[in-house]
Amino acid sequence: MTADSQLRRDALAIFRAALDAADPAAAVVRNLKVSYKFQRIFVVGAGKAGATMAKAVERQLGSRITAGLINVKDGHTVKLRRIELNECGHPVPDLRGVEGARRIAAIARDCQAGDLLICLISGGASALMPLPAEGVTLEHKQDITRQLLACGATIHEINAVRKHLSAIKGGQLAQLAAPAEVLSLILSDVVGDNLDVIGSGPTAPDASTYDDAIAVLHKYGIEANIPKRETPKQLSNAKNVIIGSNRQAIDAAQKKARALGYHTLVLATTIEGETRDVARMHAAIAREIVTSNRPARRPACILSGGETTVTLCGNGKGGRNQEFALAAAIDIADAGPIAIFSAGTDGTDGPTDAAGAIAFGSTIRRAKVKGLDPKQHLANNDAYHFFEPLKDLIKTGPTGTNVMDIHVILVDESPAP
């Protein structure tokens, strides 16, 4: 087995350990304790992990569930008995999402005192549960979403705008369900695990204001009309519980890396910023390990998690994790026995069938043999078509979870070149 093959195998094993730790079904079982005082129990929600979470709720509560509806991303489904799944568009919302969100709002309005509304929220919920506020059209929301995604806005900024364009986000779903009790089980996919940002906080008091949303639009030069209205700042009927996060996934990845024999260091689970810049920083750390055995001795594993952003300047195919790997590949070219792995825990990276990609010290050399220009692919945001012929895309299929991204740097103990 070549050094690259071993590094690839180890990186995948470390990533798989992270995914196992972020298993939403197990997290639901650990956190769902429902008394028998409730007359009716309804289950609603949205997100890429919604189907897996809903299945776990059915196993726990069975016939106690009166009805339910979860909006999920296309293809992210399982077989359920009592909770309906509604497939819809992501990351740009579509009419199927609007219809599902309208039905979710109707379920919440039907709740009465003595009822329980269980809300399941995971990554992607903002786009998957679109219910435009009065005076806002779906087309308007789609246009603003596309512009915010393309300009490199953070998820906190995007969701501040989304909440003020919505009739259901920013605590408004819990408000609709009052006086019924609301229990939200939340799989965090945002840096900082802010309750009002995850899925745009449909059951959490909203810390952002109308003025904050306007400021985001001004910052990125986006012209849009937002109804001048405020979201709930206090809610007395809702309990929000984070049942899984990137930090838990990274902790498991660290444990696996150590079991594989690596000296392991966690950088952070709150990594943000422009993807290329963050990737180059990771590449610099890898080169430092090769030449000086710091900040960790070889064989070394450096882990980080979070969610970077890509400012689109081309029209290629890819996602932030693939772009991360490509930017890193350029900077670790022939630098030594290095692997830099980046993948989304949901199994999808951008509008592609890949979760991410892996780069090696040998990647650029192998690419040139195939006539691939890494800088040209990077400039065109076309990492997918760079890594595809190299067979270095990471394809897991939908994982049933979503706790942001995992970055893995591996440096084996071979001497520096």
Q: pLDDT digits over 302-328, tens only?
A: 999 999 999 999 999 999 999 999 999
Cα–Cα dist 91/205, whole Å: 24
Task: Give the CA distances from residue 187 to residues 24, 52, 285, 342, in Å, rounded to whole numbers and listed in that order.
Answer: 7, 11, 30, 20
Q: What is the pLDDT along the chain (417 residues), one digit of tens a residue?
A: 789 999 999 999 999 999 999 999 999 999 999 999 999 999 999 999 999 999 999 999 999 999 999 999 998 999 999 999 999 999 888 999 999 999 999 999 999 999 999 999 998 899 999 999 999 999 998 899 889 988 888 888 999 999 999 999 999 999 999 999 999 999 999 898 999 999 999 999 999 999 999 999 999 999 888 889 999 999 999 999 999 999 999 999 999 999 999 999 999 999 999 999 999 999 999 999 999 999 999 999 999 999 999 999 999 999 999 999 999 999 999 999 999 999 999 999 999 999 999 999 999 999 999 999 999 999 999 999 999 999 999 999 989 899 999 999 999 987 544
Burial of 237 (0-12, 13-18, 19+ CB in 10 A): middle
Cα–Cα dist 285/414, whole Å: 17
Q: What is the pLDDT of residue 187?
A: 96
Cα–Cα dist 207/352, whole Å: 33
Cα–Cα dist 142/225, whole Å: 13
Instruction: Say what the alpha-carbon torsion angle 91, 109, 80, 90 is, to the nearest 10 degrees.
Output: 0
Cα–Cα dist 380/389, whole Å: 17
Which residue's structure tokens are 């902790």? Answer: 251
Cα–Cα dist 142/130, whole Å: 10
Contact yes or no for 354/320 (Cβ under 8 A): no
Contact yes or no for 161/209 (Cβ under 8 A): no
pTM of structure = 0.86
CA angle 55, 58, 59 (to 5 degrees): 90
Q: What is the pLDDT of residue 415?
A: 58
